Structure 1
Amino acid sequence: MTSRLLSHLEEGILNSLISAMTILVFVEVIARFFFNTGFLWIQELTLTLCGWFVLFGMSYGVKVGAHIGVDAFVSKLPPKGRKYTALLAVTICIIYCIMFLIGSWDYLAKMYQIGVPMEDLDVPHFIVNLLDADQAWELFRIDSEDPAIPLWLSQSILLIGFLMLTWRLIELGIAILRNQMDGFYLADEAKESLHLIDETPDTTNDKNLGDK
């Protein structure tokens, strides 16, 4: 039950992010082409949402098998060979995630220490009014006189995304050890394309009959 709720939550967040990006880009295009104007904050917000969508979605991609991989060699191995190769690949991915988590922590800690703000995105005024000026700076690095969103907050998805990805990889490694899976569940574009072709109705014969 908990796993299902978390899955729905992930899907809801990803759907919200992609929907918000689509709406913002649509508004920006309409503003530029029909009203000869634009909004700088939309561009920065869209880029931020895109980063959140990619980094938040990469762990979900591992879960549902949305990532593309090359398994032509691995698929030819015997079951034990596939298992050990998959465990090696998972271990390498986890090491990579740990390295990225360390780098992300150092980067975000530096941004937090310096208090670097975003360029065109501000914290809503009703939130700023709820915060004490000293506490806003000490806790969040928000300047009450120029309440731009702090960069560490907008880029915290670096930690969130790679923590989630690490957890998904650990889950995958445990499933491989228990022989519940034999490796990464990868997307197969060729197979999906052939499946779509098989499902597409053949209208050639109908057209020939019509011509006759």
Structure 2
Amino acid sequence: MSKILDHLEEWIITFLMGAATAVIFLAVLHRHGAGYPIPYVQDWLIALNFSWAQELCIYMFVWMCKFGAAYGVRTGIHVGVDVLVNRLPTDWRQKAVLVALIGGIVFTGIIGTLGLTFVWENGMHYAVFHALGLATGDLPEGPTTPDLGWPTWVVYSAVPLGSFLMCFRFLQVMRGFLRTGELPQHDHAHVEGLTADEPSFDSSVLATVKGGAK
């Protein structure tokens, strides 16, 4: 379970990216294939409705961005200007980093709470009560998306889920910083699954170029 939690963002982003690629690919094939006057096949393709493909891909990319932000916090690849912080004395640098991490925790916690409140009032309240068999009264059912017809609160759930996950990652980073004094650093030369004994792409290409030059 801990292994899944440690790489939750990668699993979600990989699934969404693969699904978006597949949907776009099929939508493009459908659009071009329906233009060829092939008996029966053209009629069958025209009857298929792919008008929802663009909307679905937009939603998937929004979810990728929210969980990608949490991944950035966890791995230390978030864009930041730390020139001044790195020039501070050690004690002041630690305090500045802690202030920044606490600010990130508070900010993402507030955004997650506001997002959850919005989602709850946008139709999730009705959906939960309806699923539990409770009286919904005058609760609004909530709007739906134009093409897919999905409840919009499902789509907007990316905001509280992604923000609370970012908040959790900020807490993890702060705990690690208090224990070790180190922040997560992303090594751009590291390739996941590649051992130290195996040459990276850059080193193998460089060796080939040098061999050819001789």
The normalised TM-score by structure 1 is 0.69
Q: Deviations over 1:140-169 (max 9, x none)?
A: xxxxxxxx3211012212111111111111
The corresponding residue for 1:115 is 142
Inter-partner Cα distance in structure 1 for 2:213 and 2:65: 47
Inter-partner Cα distance in structure 2 for 1:114 and 1:172: 39
In angstroms, what is the RMSD of aligned CA positions? 2.8
| 2:107 aligns with one of 85, 93, 96 | 96
Counterpart residue type for residue 83 of structure 1? Q
The corresponding residue for 2:128 is none
Tell me, yes or no, if structure 1 residue 60 matches structure 2 residue 71. Answer: yes
Tell me, yes or no, if structure 1 residue 77 matches structure 2 residue 85. Answer: no
The corresponding residue for 1:182 is 182
Offset at 1:23?
1.0
3-state SS, counterpart of residue 118 of structure 1: coil
Counterpart residue type for residue 165 of structure 2? M
Contact 2:20 2:57 in 1 (8 A): yes
Q: 1:95 to 1:29 in 2, by over 3 A?
A: same
Consecutive unaligned residues of structure 1, counting only runs of 5 or more, are 122-147
3-state SS, counterpart of residue 146 of structure 2: strand
Inter-partner Cα distance in structure 1 for 2:25 and 2:186: 30
Contact 1:104 1:158 in 2 (8 A): yes
Q: Deviations over 1:24-74 (max 9, x none)?
A: 122222233443477221111111111112212322222122323222222
The corresponding residue for 1:39 is 50
The corresponding residue for 2:42 is none
3-state SS, counterpart of residue 206 of structure 2: coil
Offset at 1:187?
4.1
Q: 1:74 to 1:197 in 2, by over 3 A?
A: farther
Contact 1:69 1:186 in 2 (8 A): no
Equivalent pairs, count: 177
Inter-partner Cα distance in structure 1 for 2:73 and 2:104: 11
Inter-partner Cα distance in structure 1 for 2:7 and 2:117: 32
Offset at 1:206?
4.7
Inter-partner Cα distance in structure 2 for 1:46 and 1:102: 26
Higher relative contact order (CA 8 A, sep 6+): 1
Q: 1:9 to 1:106 in 2, by over 3 A?
A: closer
Q: Which has the higher strand share?
A: 1
The corresponding residue for 2:23 is 24
Inter-partner Cα distance in structure 1 for 2:34 and 2:86: 55
Consecutive unaligned residues of structure 2, counting only runs of 5 or more, are 36-45, 124-139, 191-199
Offset at 1:21?
1.1
